[in-house]
Structure 1
Amino acid sequence: MRKTDYQKLAGMGLLLVILFVFQEFTSKGKEDFSGVKFITVHPAEINLTEFDPNELDAKQWQNMGFTEKQAITILNYKKILGGKFVSKEQLKKCFAISADKFSILEPYVLLPETGREATSSRFNNREKRTVTISGSFNPDRYSAADWQEMGFSERQAEAIVKYKHYLGGSFISKEKFKECFIISEENFLKMSPYLLLPEKKPAIFGKVKNAAPGKNKINYSPFDPNMLDLEGWKSFGFSQRQAQTIINYRERNLKGSFKSLEDIQKCFVISSEKFAEMKPFIRLNTVLASNLPNQKTEPKQQEKTDFSKTDLNSITFRQLIEFGFDEKAAGSMIGFRKKLGGFVNKEQILNTYNIDKELTQKLLSIAPLNISTVQKYTLTDAPEEWLKNHPYFKYSAEKIIFYRLSEKDERKIWKLLKVKPEYEARMKLYLK
């Protein structure tokens, strides 16, 4: 037989064997596997505790049951969010964390539920900013810039000043000051011992009521409320504190003058009864109130300021307005002068913010500058509070206070300070 015939015969034999085996297998009954048990391998149990997902690295995510690739994905997702998860809601959206896995982790995640709560939390943290208090102070005299120096943000400082204006120009008492929503409980407790305010609203600070018939009766005569000083208001039955509040309200809230009877009536220390009592005698813009019949008055011409005789260290807000400055510029100049304790040269006035330099130059060419009243010190005897509040010294105040403890030679203190020559020159303007 040929070789190919043998190969065909072997193949047919093999096929027959396969068919026989298959028939034997299918003809048997199904085996009973009920006694067979499958072994399931459980992953290592994870002991969870509270955690901040922002503090975990790749290895720590893996320790919580994630694969290396999943851990890297979570960290990359955090980077896309700006480097921080702000809420559980945000963490849940990471596709590397399944819904089942998140439900296990959620009770231990130290994050607010939603982004809105996170925003609220950040706002509250801002409200609890740390404040620095150098000594006793009257908050009525603080500007927005002063509150910022203490440690409040710009918006918080503006809100505090607006609250003071809402009260009529004075915080009145610690109790009222505490009600300002910007002042946290923690910051109020820090400031309270240093506030130059009574604990509660004094009884004498209430609205002035009409005196009993025949008792302390006030004999009024026509008056211009814009011309009254502290003693003038006190002569109408107001306490010193009430009189000062009226003046503060006029100078600060109304920019120096009452414009209408309504402006006077709105001052919270003047009761409706007291206003009705004064109204017939109030003169505004040199015109007697309408309910004074038969009274003829000659309009009084307002005196013009002689600026050639007006000291730049005593010029008033109203006089600056008269010269042509707007309210913002006048306020800036007066405020800067107050912080400095007085100008010592005219160049400083030109450096004031918000002013018209051309108009200022005109004023400087006319008005004199008297520096005899400007307080000056040496580096070794300057009061700490003065150093910390003065615009030219406040950034070096702590160093000066420290160095002068062991060094009395001012030349050596200057070497230790290492300030720029132009800053040193400015500081020396206020040193003896």
Structure 2
Amino acid sequence: MMRKNYYHKLAFMGMLLIVLLAFQKYTSREKEDFPEVKFITESSVTLNLSDFDPNNLDAKQWTHLGFSEKQVSAILNYKKIVGGEFTSKEQLKKCYAISEEKFTALESFILLPENGKDRHFEKFKTNDKKEIFVSKKFNPDALSASEWMKMGFSEKQAEAILKYRNYLGGSFVSKEKFRECFIISSENYSKLEPYILLPVKAPDNFRKSGHQYAIKSTIQYHSFDPNTLDLDGWKGLGFSEKQANTIINYRDRNLRGDFKSLEDIKKCVVISPEKFQELSPYIKLNINTTPQKQETDFSKIDLNMITFKQLLEFGLDEKSAGSMIGFRKKLRGFVNKQQILDTYNIDKNLVQKLISIAPLDVSNVPKYTLTEAPEEWLKDHPYFKYSADKIIFYRTTYTDDKKILKLLKLKPEYEERMKLYLK
């Protein structure tokens, strides 16, 4: 019995010893780090992105950009709400289905202007398959729309290039700025770049503004009298058509026909200090101290070219002359003499006498079909601007002018006015 108790105690002691040794081993081992937990987020997915136009993407392509079916549905519905087309990055960013992080990741690849106010970035579909031809060096500041078209650009592309140039103030300033023109593809820029007569980089103090930023260009200046310079003359000095018209109106209306001093020229808002400095050595002001009345043969003066100064000479007061010139400018030219008589704030008796003497040349007045007319022209022309949005909408579906005119449901007299400027 005693031996049995002894063995029980011995077995118990052995078991206790094993437990103690196991506990000691457990407490003495090194602390192991808990494995780090990583969460997969939308931004961790790597996409092989390239430039894209969000207006051309279908549901499947949006899905490939990392959006869920629900998000894709929301994006396409939003596209319908804004008129069937995204017009800017700013507008696309407002879509609630596109998070701020996702938009940031995609932004640099989106082929849209930054915002709807940047009209110079108006989007045109480029046709890169059309060959661009260039054989000699050129200054893009000096090219007209027809010259861009001769290179191989479409009419709309040429207009867009000129809009962008005007936005910069009438000069591309540098190859760097020229390359930013929205409708010039990388491929076409590579072809043109060796022939472009512009500095590579824009100056550090260059700012985008409505005023011209003058640069030393390839223009060969000669002595000129700013009081006798016409539209083409000012354009030949490197100004855009819009700037040239502003200079002529400033001279003929504000200064009553003549720059009296260099200071008068310097004050013109579209002539920057840099441009004035560039031109000043060539300016030769011929001012008559005893001005004589100019004798004009009005039977040879085209009513679409007659100047403010000549209207004053004929006897119109400044208000009548200004109204006639202003209305003509809005119309881009008169197409019949009745339009001149319909101008507001004119001396009708005196104007009736003028139009009975002076001829009217309508050969240079621009006319378009409703399907081809530039949006800017439609929205600014007095006869079209109130129907411009409807025309732009209808012509996305219909290509026949008669059908579009019928849908507009205009009063007969309004339709007849439109037809004066339609091909």
TM-score when normalising by structure 1: 0.41
Considering only CA atoms, is the larger Rg found in Structure 1 or Structure 2?
Answer: 1
TM-score when normalising by structure 2: 0.42
